[in-house]
Amino acid sequence: MVRTVLPLKPSRRSTFRPLAIVAGVGVVALVALAARWAFSTADQTHAPVPGPAQLAPPRPPEPPPLAPLAPEDVAHAKTNAKGHMQLAQGQRQVELTLDPKVQADITRLLDETRVPYGAVVLIDPRTGRVQVAAEHREAGDPVATMGAMGIAGEVPAASVFKVVTAAALLEAGQQPDSSVCFHGGRQGIVEDNLRDSPQDHQCQTLTEALANSSNAAFAKFGVQSLKPGDLEAMAKRLGFGAVIDTDLEAEASACSEGASEVERGRCAAGFAGSTLSPLHGAYLAATVANRGVAMRPTFVLDDSAAPPQGQQLLSAEVADKLKGMMAQTVVAGTGRHAFGRRPAVLRDITVAGKTGSLSGKDPSLYRHFSWFIGFAPVENPQIAIAVLAVNGEKWRVKAAGLARDSLAAWFAAQDASAGR
C-alpha cells in the first residue's frame, strides 16, 4: 500500500525568520555607523581651533636681487650710525665692506694729486672683501675719459701682464732662478729679440726679469718656453676674457696672444694683447697673495652669509714662487725707488708688487698708463692692492708712489684700531 505524503504548509514564523535576522544585522550596522559619526562630530566640535599665536607667520617676500653697484654710487656712499659705509639702491639701504676712514684718506690722496684719472683698490685676499675702491677723475681733462674701476676698456695691462706670463712659465717647468740672455726690447719687441744672438750680452733669472720688468727677457722666455695657446689659457684661468663675479659694474679684461712669434712675445712682455681694470688688477694680486686661491671680490656687507669659498686658480707652489719673485720688485727692481722712501708705518712691513708703464696708442692725445699691483706683508698677506694712474703730457704721479702711500694709510688705520 502506497501512502501519499502531502507537503507541509510552511508556517509564517519560518518564512520571516531570515528576514528578521537580516533586518537585525542592518539595524546594528546603522547604529554603529551613527555612533561613529557622532563621536567623529564630537571630536571635530571639541577640537581646539588654532589661535593667532599658533598660526605660522606669513613668510616675507624675498627682496629683489641687487643690481650691480655703480662706481659713482660707491664713491658717494655715506657712513651710517653703525660705522659702515652705505648707499641707497631703490628703497633699499645697502651696507658696504669699505673701510670708511681709509676710503676717505685715499680718496683725498687721489684728489690732491690732480691726476687726470686715478684709481686705488684694496682687497682682503683671505676673504675677498673690498676695503677701498677710490677713484678720481679730473673734470674737463680729455685724458680722464679713459679708465674705470671695474671696466678695462682700452686700458692696457702693460707689464702687469708679466705676472700672468710668469705663472705660465712656472707651470711649464721654469724656475725662479732659470735664466735667459737677451738684447734690446726697451721700446718694443721685434723678431731679432726672440733669437739667440751674439748681441745677447745681458742675462737675467726669471726673478730678476720680473723685478726689473725686462721686456726682451720675458718675450724670449715666453716664445721659447711656452706653446702657442699656453699664455692665453693661463690668462683665461686668471679672469681675462670673462666678467669677474663681483657686486660692482664690471666688464671683461681682454687677452689675445696672437698667432706669430712676435705677437706672442709682445703679449708675454705686456706690450700688446691685454687690457686690465683696477678691480681685476687687485683680484690678480690677491690670488697670488692667497696662495693661488681666488676669492670673489665683494662690496656688499653680509655678516650672515656662510664663509666664502675660494677657487684654486694656481697651485700653492706656483703662487708661493710668484710671491717671492714679486717681493724683489720692491727690494731691488722697478718699485725700489718709490718704496725706498716709505713712511714709518711701512718700515717693518714687507711688500711685494709688479709695476707697469705704457703709453697710449692715440696719436692725437698723449696718455701714459702707470700701474702697480701687489700685497703686504709678503709672509702673511693681509691686503692686496691695485693702483692705476693715467697721466697726460704733464705728469702728476706714478702708481708705485700712490701704492706706497695707500698701503701706509691702510696699515696706519689697522694700528689705530688695534691701539698701537
Q: Which three cell numbers stand for residue 126?
A: 683671505
Per-residue model confidence (pLDDT) at position 90 = 84
Residue 161 falls inside a structural domain? yes
Residue 233 falls inside a structural domain? yes
Residue 26 falls inside a structural domain? no
Residue 74 falls inside a structural domain? no
Residue 206 falls inside a structural domain? yes
Per-residue model confidence (pLDDT) at position 62 = 67
Residue 57 falls inside a structural domain? no
- Distance (Å, rounded) from C-alpha 255 to C-alpha 237? 11
Residue with cell 706683508: 377
CATH number of the domain that residue 361 is part of: 3.40.710.10
- Distance (Å, rounded) from C-alpha 122 to C-alpha 229? 31
Residue 146 falls inside a structural domain? yes
Structural domains in the chain (count): 1
Q: Which of 8, 12, 32 is nearest to 20 (CA)?
A: 12
Per-residue model confidence (pLDDT) at position 52 = 56
DSSP-derived secondary structure letter, 368? E
What sections of 259-315 are H helices per DSSP?
261-269, 278-289
At position 251, the amino acid (one-letter code) is E
DSSP-derived secondary structure letter, 144? G
Per-residue model confidence (pLDDT) at position 36 = 53
Computed on alpha carbons and rounded to an integer, the radius of gyration of the chain in Å comes to 37
Q: Which domain holds residue 251?
A: 85-417
Each of the 420 residues of the chain gets a pLDDT tens digit; together they read 444 444 444 444 444 444 444 345 444 444 454 445 444 444 444 555 555 555 667 776 666 778 899 988 998 899 999 999 999 988 889 999 999 999 999 999 999 999 999 999 999 999 999 999 999 999 999 999 998 999 999 999 999 999 999 999 999 999 999 999 999 998 899 999 999 999 999 999 999 999 999 999 999 999 999 999 999 999 999 999 999 999 999 999 999 999 999 999 999 999 999 999 999 999 999 999 999 999 999 999 987 767 788 999 999 999 999 999 999 999 999 999 999 989 999 999 999 999 999 999 899 999 999 999 999 999 999 999 999 999 999 999 999 999 999 999 999 999 998 887
pTM here?
Answer: 0.85
Residue 38 falls inside a structural domain? no
DSSP symbols for 148-206:
-SS--TT-B-GGGGHHHHHHHHHHTT--TT-EEEE---SS---GGGGS--TT--EEEEH
Residue 171 φ/ψ, nearest 5 degrees: -65, -30
